[in-house]
Amino acid sequence: MGGKVTCTLGEVKQRADFIVYWGGNPAECHPRHFTKYTIMQKSKFLPRGRKDRTMVLVDIRETKSAKAADIFLQVKPGKDFELITILRALIKDQHVGDEQIAETGMTRAGLDDLVHRMKSCKFGVFFFGMGLSMTRGKHMNSAALLTLAAEMNAFTKFVAMPMRGHGNVTGADVIMRWQTGYPFGITFNRGYPRYNPGEFSTVDVLVRGDCDAAFIIGADPGATMPQPAIDHLARIPTICLDPHVTHTSRLARVHITTAAQGISAPGTAYRMDELPLPLKPALKSPYPSDEEVVRRINEAIAKKPFWLPDGSQPQVVTAIG
């Protein structure tokens, strides 16, 4: 079944002698990743730093990050899942045909070399970006790489980590997990959390028109989502909190300007490896923080009649094993 095998970034800094970036362009999207956490760092286990580490970049095009890589592997667009699945077979000494390998844009020699390096390193890591997780196959592409990393532990130490973008999206994930058990894609309409990505995930919900009001915070779906989703947001009462007046604000019934996190609002943010860090705002904002505004809205909601009629218990929809 595989699973998820990961670590904090300091482990990579200290130990990783084999670093693969897959479908990501850290040089331009996470500029300090190389210098602060990965290839450029020296450590007691890798005293020569860059010289003691090998970096591989797998992507559909030669981005700026390729310059930093020892090996660049250009995978054909839409073939990441196939390539990772081939690697899963190759590490187990299963035969895969040359023609099949060629369809992914690779050569047998190239993959043999990659597998050899993967197996002979002391500590390997896959970092994967949106080039993997947002292309055809989506979460299955990420699952493929996570599984490959887990399976590599039969040979050596290997971990995998998503290169999360967007500031504190990791924090949302972590908090939802401890408060609801699930990382995203949740409904509380039966009075307790249920989870089903595809059913309760926002793009799907909006495109199908499944919600009749929306509260948007720390995101601008009005600028980034497919048009049918944006159309639905404009149709229903939408409330938007943002430090700026955004595309979403313009289609919303209510916009409230808030202080920017880490600039003028204090608090906590989670790093991509799920470490929480304190924020130290430099400026004082003329606007209230998100935390304050959402809390005040919650207090206002709490004063209204509770949605579950007194004494009623919604039916729980449990799985039937």
Partner 1 sequence: MLKITGGKVYDPANEINGQIKDLCIDDNGRFVESVSGGRTIDATGMIIFPGGVDVHTHVAGGAMNFARAMTPEDHRRTQAFIRTQSRRSGLGGMAPTTFATGYLYAGMGFTTVNEAAVPVLSARHTHEELADIPIVDKATLTLMANNEIMLDQMQAGEYERAKNVVAWYLWAAKSYGVKAVNPGGVAAWKWGSDAKQLNDPIAGYSSLTPGKIVTMLATICDDLQLPHPMHLHCNNLGAPGNISTTLDTLKHLEGHRAHIAHSQYHAYGGDDWDTMCSATSQLAEYFNTHPNITTDAGAVLFGDTVTITADGPWQHLLYKLTGRKWGNLDVENETGCGIVPYTYRPSNLVNAVQWASGLELMLLIKSPWQVFLSTDHPNGGCFWRYPEIIQLLMCADFRKECIAKLPDKIKNRITLPEIDREYTLYEVATSMSAGPARALGLHQKGNLGIGCDADLVIYEEEIDIARMFSHPRYVIKAGEIVIEDGDIRETPHGREFLVKPSYAPETDEFMRPLFEDCYTMQFDNYPVEIERIENPDVRILPGS
Partner 2 sequence: MTLQIINNATCTFCGCVCDDIQLHHDEVRIHEAKKACVLGTAWFLNHTAEKKYPDALIDGKEATVEEAIQMAATLLHEADMPLVYGMSNTTCEAQKECVAMADILGGLLDSHTSL
Partner 3 sequence: MPITLYLKQAPAVPLETEVLSPDVISQLSNTEIRKLTVYHGKRQVPLEEFFDVDGEHSDELIIHGDLNKVRWIGRAMSKGSITVHGKVGMHLGAYMKGGRIEVHGDASDWIGAEMKNGFIHVHGNAGGQIGAAYRGSLAGMKNGTIIVDGSAGLEVGMRMRRGTIVLGGIARDFTGLQMKGGTIILMSGAEIRTGAWMNRGTIISLKPLQMMPTFAYASDFNPMFLNVYAKQLKTYGVTLPYAASAGTYQRFAGDLSVPGKGEILVWQPA
Neighbour tally for 21: CB within 10 Å: 31
Q: Among the candidate windows 48-56, 103-111, 148-156, 175-183, which touches partner 2 by CB under 8 A?
A: 175-183
Q: What is the sign of the dihedral through the CA atoms of 133, 135, 138 and 140?
A: negative
Query: Looking at 107, 120, 153, 298, which residue binds partner 2 (CB under 8 A)?
Result: 298
**DSSP 8-state symbol, 260:** P
Return d(Cα 64, Cα 128) in angstroms, integer.
Answer: 16
Return d(Cα 20, Cα 128) in angstroms, integer.
Answer: 8
For 120, the token pair is 């002979």
Q: Is residue 313 at the binding interface for partner 1, with CB under 8 A as the rule?
A: yes
Cα–Cα distances (Å) from 253 to 79, 180, 239, in that order, read 43, 29, 6
**Would you give the binding string for partner 2 spanning residues 137-166, x where CB under 8 A is met?**
--------------------------xxxx
Beta-sheet pairing, 186-187 with 194-195: antiparallel
**Spatial CA neighbour of 259 closest among 246, 242, 247, 279:** 242
Return d(Cα 92, Cα 87) in angstroms, integer.
Answer: 9
Q: Give 14: exposed, middle or buried? Use CB within 10 Å, 0-12, 13-18, 19+.
A: middle
Q: Is residue 134 at the binding interface for partner 3, with CB under 8 A as the rule?
A: no
Q: Is residue 272 at the binding interface for partner 2, with CB under 8 A as the rule?
A: yes
Query: Looking at 72, 113, 195, 260, which residue binds partner 1 (CB under 8 A)?
Result: 195
Query: Which partner from the list partner 2, partner 3, partner 1, none does 169 bind, CB cut-off 5 to 8 Å by kind?
Result: partner 2
Contact 160, 146 (CB under 8 A): yes
* Nearer of residues 74 and 264 to partner 2, judged by Cβ: 264
Contact 144, 81 (CB under 8 A): yes
Q: Among the candidate windows 64-72, 257-265, 292-300, 313-321, which touches partner 1 by CB under 8 A?
A: 313-321
Query: Which partner from the list partner 3, partner 2, partner 1, none does 105 bind, CB cut-off 5 to 8 Å by kind?
Result: none
Q: Is residue 237 at the binding interface for partner 2, with CB under 8 A as the rule?
A: yes
Return d(Cα 224, Cα 134) in angstroms, integer.
Answer: 13
Q: Is residue 79 at the binding interface for partner 2, with CB under 8 A as the rule?
A: no
Query: Which partner from the list partner 1, partner 3, partner 2, none does 15 bind, CB cut-off 5 to 8 Å by kind?
Result: partner 1
Q: Give 187: exposed, middle or buried? Use CB within 10 Å, 0-12, 13-18, 19+.
A: middle
Contact 267, 168 (CB under 8 A): no
Query: Looking at 44, 47, 94, 178, which residue binds partner 3 (CB under 8 A)?
Result: 94
Q: Is residue 52 at the binding interface for partner 1, with CB under 8 A as the rule?
A: no
* Nearer of residues 128 and 252 to partner 1, judged by Cβ: 128
* Nearer of residues 5 and 69 to partner 1, judged by Cβ: 5
Return the amino acid letter for 117: R
**Can you give the binding site for partner 3, defined by CB under 8 A?**
1, 81-82, 85-86, 88-89, 92, 94-97, 100-101, 103-104, 136-137, 140, 188-191, 195-199, 208, 210-212, 307-309, 312, 314-315, 317, 319-320
**Can you give the binding site for partner 1, defined by CB under 8 A?**
1-11, 13-15, 36-37, 43-44, 122-123, 150, 153-154, 156-157, 159, 174, 177-183, 188, 190-195, 268, 270-271, 274-278, 302, 306, 308, 313-314, 316, 318-321
